[in-house]
Every structure is written in structure tokens, then in C-alpha cells.
Homo-oligomer: A and B are copies of this chain.
């Protein structure tokens, strides 16, 4: 571990080094208070012009859980059916309606940058994806394990859970305390020199 980091070792382990993607969970419930604490931490992480396009649907009813599971890839169905809590993470392509409030020192941003739907969708997708990553780390900050998934029928989930046509699912995340045999062995990562170049 390098001295170049200021973040303490316990936090490094909790968020990155020891944390793992969980595929099984205990029965311990995940409360709304925990999700609120996670949100109230990660909401501060940056997005372009503070546009904050992430929207979160907590799937708590049996009926909604069954409807969600029906749109998942086969390999994701069983673990999602059994997880203590499942969240749908989506981009709101109409985020610009809130922008005058979220970015008050530049009120023209709503129309100047985001008046056109294709520009708005691209920015919404990019920035909500950043917020998906912040949320995953926030789950870990609450002492919970995240099981993020991208294997699903996105059009099916969008139609099932967002009837307005303005939301795009980016990830589905199982949340809970890790259960038995919760993860695979850690897979290799790319070396620094394979990822970073200097010009």
C-alpha cells in the first residue's frame, strides 16, 4: 500500500480493496434509513454542471420484484429474487427541468446546453453513470455489499417501471449483507502500464 494516499487504510479496504461484488446475501433487511444515509453521502460527488440525473427505484413489493426479475438475464434472476433489497438505477433525460435550481449561477444552462433532446440524453446517461459508481461505493460505505448488474432487457425495464419514456435504466443493484460463498475469487486487474500512458 502506498504512502501517496491520504485515505486511511480501513476506508481503502471498505470501499475498494476488501469490498467485493456479492452474489448471495443474508436475510438481514436493508432499511430506508440506510439508503437515505447512502444518498445523503454520495449526492455530493460531482456531475457536469451539477445536473444530478440519477433516479433510484427501490423494489420492495413482491409484485414489483417479480416484474423486475422477469426482465433480467437468466444468470441474474435467482440472486435478484433472493436479495434483501434491489434498486433500479436510471438516468432522467428530463433532468434539465431542475437545472435552474441545481446550477443557480448559470441559469441559461437549461436551454443553452440541454435544450436539444439528443444532447440532453447523452449528458444524462454519462452523468447518471458516474452517479451509479458513486452509489455503489456508498453502499459499501454503509457496510453493505453491492451486486451491480447490467445483464437485463433494458427496454423491458424502462417500459415496466418508467412509463413516461424519459428514463433509461443503467444498472440494477442487489444490496445486503454478503451471504455464504458470496463471490468468486478476485479476478486479475490490468497493470498500471497497460492503462496509463504519458504524452
A186 vs B100: C-alpha distance when bound (angstroms): 14
- For A2, what are the chain B residues with a Cβ–Cβ distance below 8 Å? 33, 36-37, 40
Known contacts A14-B6, A199-B161; decide if A192 and B130 are in contact (CB<8 Å). no
What copy number does this chain have within its complex?
2
Q: Which of B44, B148, B187 contacts A103 (CB 8 A)?
A: B187
- For A105, what are the chain B residues with a Cβ–Cβ distance below 8 Å? 184, 187
> Distance in Å from the Cβ of A35 to the closest Cβ of chain B?
7
Indicate if the CB atoms of B101 and A195 lie closer than 8 Å.
no
A7 vs B184: C-alpha distance when bound (angstroms): 24
A33 vs B3: C-alpha distance when bound (angstroms): 9
| Chain A interface residue bracket vs B | 35 or more
- For A194, what are the chain B residues with a Cβ–Cβ distance below 8 Å? 98
Question: A189 near B: Cβ within 8 Å?
Answer: yes
Question: A170 near B: Cβ within 8 Å?
Answer: yes
Known contacts A7-B14, A141-B7; decide if A198 and B60 are in contact (CB<8 Å). yes
Indicate if the CB atoms of A5 and B41 lie closer than 8 Å.
yes
Nearest chain B residue, comparing its CB with the CB of A61: B199
- For A129, what are the chain B residues with a Cβ–Cβ distance below 8 Å? 126, 129-130, 133
Residues of chain A having any CB pair with chain B under 8 Å = 2-8, 10-12, 14-17, 19, 21, 31-46, 48, 50, 52, 54-61, 64, 98, 101-105, 123, 126, 129-134, 136-137, 140-143, 146, 148, 150-151, 161, 170, 184, 186-190, 192, 194-199
Beyond the given A43-B190, A126-B170, please list 16 additional residue pairs across the A-B interface where CB-CB is below 8 A: A2-B36, A4-B38, A5-B37, A6-B141, A7-B41, A8-B11, A17-B41, A17-B44, A35-B196, A57-B199, A101-B188, A102-B189, A103-B187, A126-B150, A133-B133, A161-B199
